[in-house]
Amino acid sequence: MRLSRYFLPVLKETPGEARIASHRLMLRAGMIRQASAGIYSWLPLGFRVLRRIEQIVHEEQQRAGHIPMLMPTVQPADLWRESGRYDDYGEEMLRITDRHGRDMLYGPTNEELITDIFRAHISSYRDLPLTLYHIQWKFRDEVRPRFGVMRGREFYMKDGYTFDLTRDAALHAYNRHLVSYLRSYERMGLQAIPMRAASGPIGGDDTHEFLVLAETGESAVFYDSAVTDIRLGARALAYDDAAACRAVAEEFTRLYARTDETHDEAKFLEIPEARRRVARGIEVGQIFYFGTKYSEPMGAMVVNAQGERVPVHMGSHGIGVSRLVGAIIEASHDDRGIVWPEGVTPFHCGIVNLKQGNAGADAACEALYAALTGAGLEPLYDDRAERAGAKFATMDLIGLPWRITVGPRGLKAGVVELTCRRTGESEEMSPEAAVSRVAGRYGGTAGG
Ligand code: P5A
């Protein structure tokens, strides 16, 4: 993409309404624009990051064997009357009446709708286990929408629903989700710690939230600092193997880590004092096992091997896709702007032409652009007739991991400058070396 033809409305001034870094930076970098309280348009740069996060979530869900689909945003109230949640959900639910006077709602979540689909089509244990998921906009009329996309009213969520014959099988599905979520967050350059939590309006007793540690997080968390040393890394994951999934889940949930809703001071005090941590975190996902809470009242039954009709065991599992954009920035920025992890960056590399209009510099930038594109990367070329300082400030603000700077003086010596956004370190090298260095950083993930 050439910046002269792109739509990147960066703001010079820091917007007054933004109280945390991620909100400020998303507005300044021209990623989002508020349409109404807690409701945002995703401008091109923000949309690119949202799509990359969504893509990682799709890939990891499908790697775990989960099946993508798409349900609507607007749902009939009658389904929610069957589960009993139409009244229980309260004022957070946006209720709508259509022209025929029918009660509808903008979905805050989809347990009822998926249970209705299940009961219409599945009646035998032979069709289990089944995990269906979608990534779709949700609406919750939060009392205090704030911090930009972090606590929105309209927000983008991946929500998956599991159907199993027994509690044990449903717990395998729970653990499988736990593992696939850990892997997704790691690919986004984030550490999200699973913490025992409360289930709220979704229900059930078994639930974990995934928290990214950040001072600006809305949740108070209590944990053993040793949990922050555990990583999945590149290990092979056998998603169909219940024992293997359980082992990974236990490894990550064995140590004390809880939100304030389930905090137990006596247990906390058993942690060696030097490892006790009280901090704040951003909730980027939550998994639930709630058994037959929806299947029983809604009649989602299967016939088991003994010929009996039994309610199916269910769980639901969510990732806050739009919130993650803010959470990643909260975890990765400096005074100059965003520092994107390579896994989610909107463009793989920036190209800065120090002397636009200089034939040699222009040609070298064009050649770099072609070579990077040819290597499967998406560069952003700042080809505007701006001074160098302004170009650097924009690149730093939007946070691309790598920048190649091209100027007539370097070109005379046959070199360009490659700069790492995170460390600020620069190195001179030939244009070919810069391209292969950047391409090497992205390995198999380019274009993803
Ligand atoms: C699980 C999937 C559920 O709704 N039903 C379907 C279950 N869980 S949840 O914890 O309530 O939401 C899942 C994730 O969505 C994000 N989230 C939000 N993001 C932005 N703004 C909001 N107002 C908001 N509310 C929830 C969180 O990341 C949460 O973990």
Per-residue pLDDT of the chain in tens (448 residues, 90 and over written 9): 999 999 999 998 888 889 999 999 999 999 999 999 999 999 999 999 999 999 999 999 999 999 999 999 999 999 999 999 999 999 999 999 999 999 999 999 999 999 999 999 999 999 999 999 999 999 999 999 999 999 999 999 999 999 999 999 999 999 999 999 999 999 999 999 999 998 888 888 789 999 999 999 999 999 999 999 999 999 999 999 999 999 999 999 999 999 999 999 999 999 999 999 999 999 999 999 999 999 999 999 999 999 999 999 999 999 999 999 999 999 999 999 999 999 999 999 999 999 999 999 999 999 999 999 999 999 999 999 999 999 999 999 999 999 999 999 999 999 999 999 999 999 999 999 999 999 999 985 444 4
CA of 124 relative to ligand 1 center, distance in Å: 31
Q: What is the CATH number of domain 347-441?
A: 3.40.50.800
Residue with CA closest to ligand 1 atom 3:
318
pLDDT for res 445: 47
Handedness of CA 196, 133, 236, 446 (dihedral sign): negative
pLDDT for res 447: 43
Which numbered atom of ligand 1 lies nearest the CA of 145? 23
Of the candidates 296, 92, 290, 320, the residue with the CA atom closest to the CA atom of residue 199: 290
Which numbered atom of ligand 1 lies nearest the CA of 201? 11
Residue with CA closest to ligand 1 atom 8:
318
Residue with CA closest to ligand 1 atom 26:
320
- Ligand 1 cavity residues, CB under 6 Å: 109, 140, 142, 151-152, 155, 157, 159, 202, 283-286, 288, 316-318, 320, 322-323
Tell me which of 131, 147, 323 to substitute to probe ligand 1's pocket, judged by most ligand atoms within 8 Å of the beta carbon.
323
Tell me which of 73, 139, 286, 287 to substitute to probe ligand 1's pocket, judged by most ligand atoms within 8 Å of the beta carbon.
286
CA of 157 relative to ligand 1 center, distance in Å: 7
pLDDT for res 253: 97
- Cβ neighbours of residue 76 closer than 8 Å, sequence gap 6 or more: 102, 103, 104, 105
pLDDT for res 422: 98
Which numbered atom of ligand 1 lies nearest the CA of 108? 4
Which numbered atom of ligand 1 lies nearest the CA of 159? 2
The answer to whether 158 touches 305, Cβ cutoff 8 Å, is: no
CA of 78 relative to ligand 1 center, distance in Å: 23
Residue with CA closest to ligand 1 atom 29:
285
CA of 210 relative to ligand 1 center, distance in Å: 11
146 beta partners: 151
Helical ranges in 64-212 per DSSP H: 77-83, 85-88, 111-121, 167-187
Q: What is the CATH number of domain 8-337?
A: 3.30.930.10
Which numbered atom of ligand 1 lies nearest the CA of 284? 28
Secondary structure of residue 51 in the 3-state scheme: helix
Q: Which residue type is seen at 310?
A: V
CA of 139 relative to ligand 1 center, distance in Å: 10
CA of 318 relative to ligand 1 center, distance in Å: 6
Q: Which residue type is seen at 280?
A: R
CA of 32 relative to ligand 1 center, distance in Å: 20
CA of 359 relative to ligand 1 center, distance in Å: 52
The answer to whether 65 touches 240, Cβ cutoff 8 Å, is: yes
pLDDT for res 444: 54
Phi, psi of 291 (to 5 degrees): 60, -120
CA of 35 relative to ligand 1 center, distance in Å: 21
CA of 153 relative to ligand 1 center, distance in Å: 11
Residue with CA closest to ligand 1 atom 13:
318
Tell me which of 54, 156, 157 to substitute to probe ligand 1's pocket, judged by most ligand atoms within 8 Å of the beta carbon.
157
Phi, psi of 203 (to 5 degrees): 100, 175
pLDDT for res 204: 80
Of the candidates 442, 401, 438, 400, the residue with the CA atom closest to the CA atom of residue 416: 438
What gap in Å lies between CA 16 and CA 22, rounded to an integer?
13
pLDDT for res 14: 84
Would you kindly state where each structural domain of the chain is located, as residue ranges?
A: 8-337, 347-441
CA of 374 relative to ligand 1 center, distance in Å: 39
Which numbered atom of ligand 1 lies nearest the CA of 209? 30
C-alpha distance from residue 45 to each of 29, 150, 380 (Å): 8, 17, 11
Residue written as token pair 């729970």: 174
CA of 442 relative to ligand 1 center, distance in Å: 30
Residue with CA closest to ligand 1 atom 24:
151
Secondary structure of residue 396 in the 3-state scheme: helix
CA of 369 relative to ligand 1 center, distance in Å: 40
Residue with CA closest to ligand 1 atom 2:
318
